């Protein structure tokens, strides 16, 4: 495991699956994620977290709220490793505050 992976997901464990993390923070994520303007969708596509079709579906949404809903739905069906890549992408796309909340850290 690289230092980046250890930093990114240090508190991730098998008892807190990524789907339960998404569910626990669902409203926060809907209201806070910047999917449309941060480059997050492109980063997730580049990192092989989402497919071209998923990228296009998310990007086609008219509102940020709907784009966030679609991304969360897609992420819920991904592997734990892909969720870790999502957490890393939050950092690289200027949203470390979102990653911190998902990791249980407060700013």
Query: Is residue 95 in some structural domain?
Result: yes
CATH of the domain at 62: 1.10.533.10
Which domain does 59 fall in, by range? 16-102
The CA-based dihedral angle spanning residues 30, 15, 5, 3, taken in that order and rounded to the nearest 10 degrees: 140
If one counts the domains in the chain, the total is 1
The whole-angstrom separation of Cα 77 and Cα 54 is: 12
Please, which residues have CB within 8 angstroms of residue 49's CB and are 6 or more apart in sequence?
Answer: 75, 78, 82, 85, 86, 89
Q: What mean pLDDT comes out for the span 18-41?
A: 94
Query: Is residue 78 in some structural domain?
Result: yes
pLDDT band at 106 (very low <50, low <70, confident <90, very high): low
The whole-angstrom separation of Cα 22 and Cα 2 is: 24
User: ∠ at Cα 96 (92, 101), nearest 5°?
Assistant: 145
Q: Against a cut of 0.85, is the pTM above it?
A: no
Residue of higher predicted confidence among 6 and 55? 55
Query: Is residue 59 in some structural domain?
Result: yes
């Amino acid at each position: 495991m690289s230092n980046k992976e250890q930093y990114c997901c240090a508190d991730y464990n098998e008892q807190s699956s990524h789907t339960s993390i998404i569910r626990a923070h669902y409203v926060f994520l809907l209201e806070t994620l910047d999917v449309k303007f941060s480059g997050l969708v492109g980063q997730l596509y580049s990192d092989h977290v989402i497919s071209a079709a998923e990228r296009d579906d998310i990007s086609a949404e008219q509102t940020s709220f709907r784009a966030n809903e679609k991304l969360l739905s897609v992420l819920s069906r991904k592997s734990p490793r892909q969720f870790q890549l999502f957490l890393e992408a939050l950092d690289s796309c200027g949203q470390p505050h979102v990653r911190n909340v998902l990791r249980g850290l407060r700013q």
